[in-house]
A and B are shown apart, each in its own frame.
Chain A
Amino acid sequence: MRHDLDSILKENFGFNEFREGQKEVITDVLEGEDVLGILPTGTGKSLCYQLPAKVLGGTTLVVSPLISLMVDQVKQLKATGYKAVTAVNSFMDQPERNAVLKNLDQYSLVYISPEMLQNDWLQHRLKRMRVHLFVIDEAHCISQWGHEFRTDYLKLHQIIENLGHPTVMALSATATPEVQRDIMEKLKLPHMKKRIYPMDKQNISFAVEECTSPEEKTDRIVQVLEKNQAPTMIYFSSRQWAEKVSFELRERLNQRVAFYHGGMEQTDRMLVQQQFMNNQLDVICCTSAFGMGVDKKDIRIVIHFHLPPQLESFIQEVGRAGRDGGAAASLLLFTRQDHYLPQRLIQSELPEKNDLQQVFSFLKKKQGEEIPEDDGMIERFELSESQWNFIKFQLEEEGALQEGKLVGVTPELIQEIHRFLEERWMYKHNKLNEMLKWIHVSDCRRKALYQPFQDMIREPTVPCCDGCDFSMDDLSFQEERQTYDTFSWEDRLKMIFKQGAGL
């Protein structure tokens, strides 16, 4: 069956042409081929399944790791008039969830979290529906060598099988060749068609600068933004810092600055996102929680106030700049002390060797019994939630945890988990070291950044990087903006309702 993809695109999504890679991936699944698509951020990955969903009929299932991301995407889609879409997640309230589940087969596009997919009832329900396309978003999560390993992703191959093997599309923006192989292996789909596209951004210039203190970083940002007036994102590794620096920038800059992080109240979060989209804000100080579903095309500057824990996160965050194809710049600021920040993050994720020893000698005595409550274990051994989840999953994986009961916590098993833990530690440290190594690169930074992911680095269309021919001080964006004078409530109300001309 041949489809006129261009006119479908125009009719349903209002675009005149496909972006790089979209058409190829779409054609593959329409022809019934399983496909692995590595498309860089900002190239419209979601279109790759939204369009086939329209063409194929039935239901397209999209597995996505982050609930907030799913919910954002559904909102965006609905806002553009794509109505037959829903996100099944644990945060829905009861009436909404009931309404959605009752009519699940009415939706053309169903987003779902991997945890939810484990639900037997839901699996049964899906089995009786016509699932024509099975999409795995952020597919690198399936790989232990990916930067965001999610244990639930490992069970996806079973679900695909249970559903009678619909066509599978696995998508990621950042996956090294090693991770790509791992994805196909874990999905048990060795013959997947690979569609790999270069991820280097030709329209972004890179710079890294060392500072002696956080205060100096802020001074530097003030300096840069005094000279540049354009949509800017500043990434922080903590909520407190995002807020703190946003307050200071507000005082010192003639720009409209706001902060954004996961700890904010829902309404305010949405307002800040929308203000930024609507150009009512110039600068957003945020954590990595921002931007998932936000597709603002004209971001010109991305600044990192803290080191991301690995190159992959950095590449994704930088990729939010210049989606309209226009020139953009990335600036990363660091101090010598910053090296320890991501290190601490890793520590909170993985249990330490000693902890593991103690937990296991405790669990050994509980053979044949039910596994103790999560909270109890977390408290008793002073673990973080993700540390305990790590241990629990390993037990399950090795078959030592069956139907909630502990069976066969043997010395060999403990040995095995120890070995795996060490690998994870090593892996994370290597990732961090890559990041550290990159900030100290003295020749071409662009090459060093993208080399692990692709063979050929393309020539940039803008000044390259501070290793070549670029300096942050050369940058000069001066964009016009609407003024932000204070009006009376009457004027504001008129503006909203567009009453009376002239306003």
Chain B
Amino acid sequence: MFDHVVLTCVDRFRGERTVSGIYHLLTGKRSSQTLQDAKGYELDRLFGIYPSLKREQLERHAQALVQDGLIQINEQSFPTITSGGAEQLSSFPVDELKHFEGMVWHGVIPTFVKRVYLLLQMMANSNAGIHHYVPIVDDYGTQQWVRTVYHQFQDKLPKMVESMYEEIHHLLKKHPSNQADLFAYRLTGGGIIGMTIDQLKREFGLNGGDVELMLQHTHYYLFLESKKKKDQYPVLHLCTKGLDATHLITRSARKTYQYIQQGLSLQEIMNIRRLKKSTIQDHIVESALIIPDFSIASFLSEQDVQEINKMGIQMNTKKLKQIHEALNGKYDYFELRLALAKGQHAIKEGMT
């Protein structure tokens, strides 16, 4: 699984980003560079799906892939996929990671996961007559949430326990069985204590990273299904309540965006916010990436946007430097980034 995720990143980045770029993508770094990469290289599903990943761990893994002949890393430390790697990539069962939607949901998945694990422990324990126990989730907010649920539905509890079992059973039945195994063995409740990541690795003969990603994939799956189908999965749906799509725009960028909507110029915003020009420009690019109907007409004309994007497509690259040179320096880097960010939406809209 980890192999596959890394290979996918290497493949999509086409030798134009380093291992560091992959690290930022998977851990969900909120910089305009990473956001732009995620969108531009169509890796937004994998954005932020592995927040606990360690940099060294990824580097070691990349080295292992080199050893296995699946990727190559050049002197500038840009990895590219080999034919062997491409082959492995295409043979991977798509079902095992099709539910990731990192860019949209990575911000709320941790809360959902904590709620599910603690609610399940509470319900299974009450079902088994265990009333005194140490909560498996050590988070004040989540404990409060479960407490509220408990008080609200006290009289319906037995029904809910049964429903939760049915819901999880039903969903896991349609899920790859190795991932279902990991999830079931991670759960705590009814007098059974779940396994640590290390124990799961050993029990199921998996490598570092695989356990975390497979569990995470199951979390996304449960979340998305129950969010969509309230009637079918009422208890799990309860765990998704109030958890909405992440507005990936940073608070600071949002402020800049609002000033622009009010018609202020770049220079004016710089003065008001006492920020560097480059920071404000980052905000503008970020806004263009995230907010589809954000108008950039005051910075670039429609023709300019088209010309830049056409050149990118023609040269089959997202590298700013190459496009910059090909257009003889007609546009600065800010304009290029902005145009490409905007172009991203045009492509998507064109496709649908």
Residues of A within 8 A of B (CB): 75-76, 79-81, 92-93, 95-96, 99, 250, 258, 265-268, 270-272, 274-275, 278, 280, 486, 488-490, 492-493, 495-499
Which residue on chain B has the smallest CB distance to residue A81? B132
B104 on the interface (CB 8 Å rule)? no
Q: Which residues of B contact A93 (CB under 8 A)?
A: 140
Closest 9 CB pairs of A and B: A489-B184, A268-B196, A96-B140, A492-B184, A489-B180, A497-B165, A496-B190, A274-B193, A489-B181
B residues near A499, Cβ cutoff 8 Å: 165
Query: B residues within 8 A CB of A272?
Result: 196
Q: Name the residue of chain A whose CB is nearest to the CB of B203.
A: A486
Q: Smallest CB-CB separation from A489: which chain B residue? A: B184
User: What is the chain A residue whose CB lies nearest that of B197?
Assistant: A268
B141 interface hit (Cβ, 8 Å): yes
Q: Which residues of B contact A488 (CB under 8 A)?
A: 177, 181
CA distance A275 to B141 in the complex (A): 25
Shortest distance from the beta carbon of A265 to any chain B beta carbon, whole Å: 8
> Which residue of the partner chain A has the closest CB to B169?
A493
Minimum C-beta distance from A93 to chain B (A): 6
Contact of A489 among B135, B165, B172, B202 (CB under 8 A): B172
Q: Could you tell me the distance between the alpha carbons of A498 and B187 in the complex, rounded to whole angstroms?
A: 14
Binding site for A on B (CB under 8 A): 120, 124, 127-128, 131-138, 140-141, 161, 164-165, 168-169, 172, 177, 180-181, 183-185, 187-199, 202-203
Given A489-B185, A499-B165, do A280 and B140 touch, yes or no (CB 8 Å)?
no
Q: Which of B127, B135, B168, B199 contacts A258 (CB 8 A)?
A: B199
| Distance, CA A499 to CA B128, complexed state (A) | 10
> Which B-chain residue is minimally distant from A490 (CB atoms)?
B169
Closest residue on chain B to residue A271 by CB atoms: B196
Q: List 13 A-B contacts (CB under 8 A).
A: A75-B135, A79-B132, A95-B141, A271-B188, A271-B195, A278-B192, A278-B193, A490-B184, A492-B185, A493-B165, A496-B120, A497-B164, A497-B190
Contact A80 B132 (CB under 8 A): yes
Contact residues in A for B134 (Cβ distance below 8 Å)? 75-76, 79, 270, 274
Cα–Cα, bound, A268→B141 (Å): 20
Q: Which residue of B lies closest to A247 (CB)?
A: B202
User: How far, in angstroms, from A92 to B141 measured CA to CA in the complex?
Assistant: 12
- The reply to whether A267 and B132 contact each other, CB–CB distance below 8 Å, is no
State the Cβ distance, B184 to closest chain A Cβ, in Å: 4
Task: Decide if A270 touches B138 in the complex (CB within 8 Å).
Answer: yes
Which residue on B lies nearest to A488, using beta carbons?
B181
Whole-angstrom CA separation of A93 from B192 in the bound complex: 29
| Known pairs A80-B132, A258-B196, A495-B190 / 4 extra A-B pairs, C-beta < 8 Å | A95-B141, A489-B183, A489-B184, A497-B164
With CB as the reference atom, state the residue of chain B lying closest to A486: B203
Nearest chain B residue, comparing its CB with the CB of A80:
B132
The answer to whether residues A267 and B165 also contact, given A81-B132, A258-B196 and a CB cut-off of 8 A, is no
**B199 — which chain A residues lie within 8 A by C-beta?**
258
List residues of chain A with CB within 8 A of the CB of B164: 497
Which chain B residue shows the least CB distance to A276? Answer: B193
Let me know if B192 and A496 touch, CB within 8 A.
Answer: yes
Q: Smallest CB–CB gap between A292 and chain B, Å?
A: 14
Q: Residues of A contacting B188 with CB < 8 Å?
A: 271, 274, 496
With a cutoff of 8 Å between Cβ atoms, the chain A residues found around residue B192 in the complex are: 278, 280, 492, 495-496
**Could you say which residues of chain A place their CB within 8 Å of the CB of B180?**
489
Determine if B136 and A270 form an interchain contact, defined as CB atoms under 8 angstroms apart: yes
A278/B165 in contact, CB under 8 A: no
List A contacts of B184 (CB < 8 A).
489-490, 492-493, 496
Which of B135, B141, B191 is close to A278, meaning CB atoms less than 8 Å apart?
B191
Contact pick for B133, options A79, A258, A268, A280, CB 8 Å: A79
A320 to B181, CA, bound (A): 35
Closest residue of A by beta carbon distance from B117 = A267
Given A493-B172, A496-B124, A496-B187, A268–B193 Cβ distance below 8 Å? no
How many Å lie between the Cα of A278 and that of B130 in the bound state? 13
State A92–B124 Cα separation when bound (angstroms): 28
Contact pick for A498, options B133, B168, B190, B197, CB 8 Å: B190
In the bound assembly, the distance between CA atoms of A484 and B70 in angstroms comes to 38
In the complex, what distance in Å separates the CA atom of A486 from the CA atom of B164? 23
In the bound complex, residues from chain B placing their C-beta under 8 Å from that of A79 are 132-134
Chain A residues, Cβ within 8 Å of B194: 271
Nearest CB of A to B141, in Å:
7
Q: Which of A278, A493, A495 has the most CB of B within 10 A?
A: A493
Using Cβ atoms and an 8 Å threshold, which residues of chain A touch B196? Answer: 258, 267-268, 271-272
Q: Which residues of A contact B141 (CB under 8 A)?
A: 95
Distance between A138 CB and nearest chain B CB, rounded to angstroms: 22
Q: How far is the CB of B254 from chain A (nearest CB, A)?
A: 23
Q: Which A residue sits closest to B202, measured CB to CB?
A: A250
B193 touches A489 (CB 8 A): no
Looking at the assembled complex, report how far the CB atom of B127 sits from the nearest CB atom of chain A, in whole angstroms.
Answer: 6
Most buried by B among A92, A93, A489, A495: A489
Please indicate the chain A residues that have their CB under 8 angstroms from the CB of B136 in the complex: 267, 270-271, 274
Whether the Cβ atoms of B177 and A271 lie closer than 8 Å is no
By beta carbon, the residue of chain B nearest A72 is B134
Within the assembled complex, what's the spacing in Å between the Cα atoms of A258 and B140?
A: 28
Q: Measured between alpha carbons, how far is A81 from B187 in the docked complex, in Å?
A: 23
- Most A C-beta atoms less than 10 A away, residue of B134, B165, B168, B177: B134
From B124, which residue of chain A is reached at the shortest CB distance?
A496
Expressed in whole angstroms, the minimum distance between the Cβ of B230 and any Cβ of chain A is 22
Q: How far is the CA of A497 from the CA of B185 in the complex (A)?
A: 13
What CA separation (Å) do A124 and B38 show in the bound complex?
53
Please give, as numbers and ranges, the residues of chain A lying within 8 Å of B189 by CB-CB distance: 496-497
